[in-house]
Amino acid sequence: MSESSLSYVTHHADGPWQTYLSQVDRVVPYLGHLARWVETLKRPKRALIVDVPIELDDGRVAHFEGFRVQHNMSRGPGKGGVRYHPNVTLEEVMALAAWMSIKNAAVNLPYGGAKGGIRVDPKLLSIKELERMTRRYTSEIGIIIGPHQDIPAPDVNTNPQIMAWMMDTYSMNTGTTATGVVTGKPIHLGGSLGRVKATGRGVFVTGREAARRINLDLDGARVAVQGFGNVGAAAAELFAQAGAKIVAIQDHTGTIVNERGIDMAELMPTLTQYGGVGGFKGADKADDEAFWDVKCDILIPAALEGQVTVERAKRTTAKLVLEGANGPTLPAADDILADRGILVVPDVICNAGGVTVSYFEWVQDFSSFFWTEDEINLRLDKIMVGALKRIWDTADKHQITLRTATFAVACERILTAREERGLYP
């Protein structure tokens, strides 16, 4: 348990902020003299709560809760996505912002960590209402975002169109064409090739490297994927191309299983028709809880936080867990996976491909010179492989999990910057 407690956070033992705090506590013994600064990581630098009122299509007015949290900016401007989900809370956004600080430092991007969100079910809004909500939210958080301050991007339920509205709103308010204020934009607005699939690609690249190191052959390996959005689907396609069998997929529309492997080329075109994988005819339906019992070699939780519980960690047959989602594994479940000899590639490195290509996009916007998709993918591969190697060496040296090693590498970078900058005033 962490010593520090913040008056504005309710204590949820399995909540994401508590999960993050216990991950930080585990790294303290490896921080040496920098441990003196660790309290910095246990509270966000700045948290903004905004009211987002919009006129609905029927003339009524609705209010939504919006957040933007800047967890740490010692190494550079804030960076991290914006999530639209009915369960968004300040506590969740704080944890997601903190994980962005760790992630950005783990891959050595010149960014701090930030995250935003609106507590809303976007499926209940028309496209015009979604646009009005996005624009009002952007305007409200406009006082703390900017190309050199804090750069939002897509996350759960947000996409390039939403980034285009954010870029336009910020640009209108500042009298500029500020392409660098958000990443994950459409290509015509300064977006980067390869960005949409980058997070899934990073999951594949780190998974490929981890599999190689534990002698797990991807050819014929059985893969189970939870969450089939931008991250899970892109990762599954790459694993299938490498010869793996996608034996189970779960999303909000249901769970499908096929031990011979789900045909990706058949599945992908049906996703828009059914709103997810649930209606696919080329696999059997299963109960959602049965997903965790499907025989697999690689498990990819790519949905939301807290999915890998103690109970599920005891049951999984996977040898390798690749965290496509942010915060999918509870700390107690993490210990069980480690005791069972199951290797976890943690979120803070595994899903860092998205923000890495966001960084490429931001650099391209400033230089107004754009790279080919091959260049993007090659650079992404190189950065992810290099970062994972550094983390692996740290884990070997101290005999610690990859998660604690990633935190060790990242926290050392953040707290060194913090110390060198010194306390103001």
Report, as residue numbers or ranges, the catalytic residues.
115
* Residue from 9, 308, 355, 380 in contact with ligand GLU (CB under 6 A): 355
Q: Which of 196, 174, 140, 145 is CA-nearest to residue 353?
A: 196
DSSP label at residue 319:
S
Which residues in 39-98 contact ligand GLU (CB under 6 A)? 79-81
Interatomic CA distance for residues 152 and 101, integer angstroms? 13
Residue nearest to ligand GLU (CB): 81
CA distance 247 to 96: 30
State the nearest-atom distance from the C-beta of 18 to ligand GLU, in Å: 19
Tell me the DSSP string of 145-199: -BTTTEE--B-TT--HHHHHHHHHHHHHHHTS--GGG-SS--GGGT--TT-TTHH
Bridge-based pairing of strands 298-301 and 222-226 is: parallel
CB nearer ligand GLU, residue 141 or residue 244: 141
141 contributes a contact to ligand GLU by CB under 6 A: no
Cβ contacts of residue 312 below 8 Å, gap of 6+? Answer: 292, 333
Distance (Å, whole) CA 420 – CA 83: 33
Q: Which of residues 314-343 bind ligand GLU (CB under 6 A)?
A: 326
Q: How far is the CB of 355 from ligand GLU (least distance, A)?
A: 4
Kindly state whether residue 411 participates in binding ligand GLU, applying the rule CB under 6 A.
no
**Does position 153 bind ligand GLU by CB under 6 A?**
yes
Position 133 contacts ligand GLU (CB under 6 A): no
Nearest residue (CB) to ligand GLU, 191 versus 354 = 354
Q: Which residue has the tokens 């959005």?
A: 229
Q: Closest separation between CB of residue 272 and ligand GLU, Å?
A: 22
Q: Cβ of residue 201: shortest distance to ligand GLU, in angstroms?
A: 13
Distance of closest approach, residue 160 Cβ to ligand GLU, in angstroms? 12
| Closest approach of ligand GLU to the CB of residue 303, in Å | 13
**Using the rule CB under 6 A, is 157 a contact of ligand GLU?**
no
Query: Residue 388 class from Cβ within 10 Å (0-12 exposed, 13-18 middle, 19+ buried)?
Result: buried
Instruction: Choose one: 4-12, 215-223, 291-299, 352-360; the region binding ligand GLU (CB under 6 A).
Output: 352-360
Instruction: Give CA–CA dist 163/81, Å, rounded.
Output: 10
Judged by CB under 6 A, the residue of 89, 183, 364, 377 near ligand GLU is 183
Please tell me whether residue 54 adopts helix, strand or coil conformation. Answer: strand
Q: Near ligand GLU by CB under 6 A, which window of 41-49, 330-338, 351-359, 402-410?
A: 351-359
18 binds ligand GLU (CB under 6 A): no
Catalog residues that contact ligand GLU under the rule CB under 6 A: 79-81, 153, 155, 183-184, 326, 351, 354-355, 358
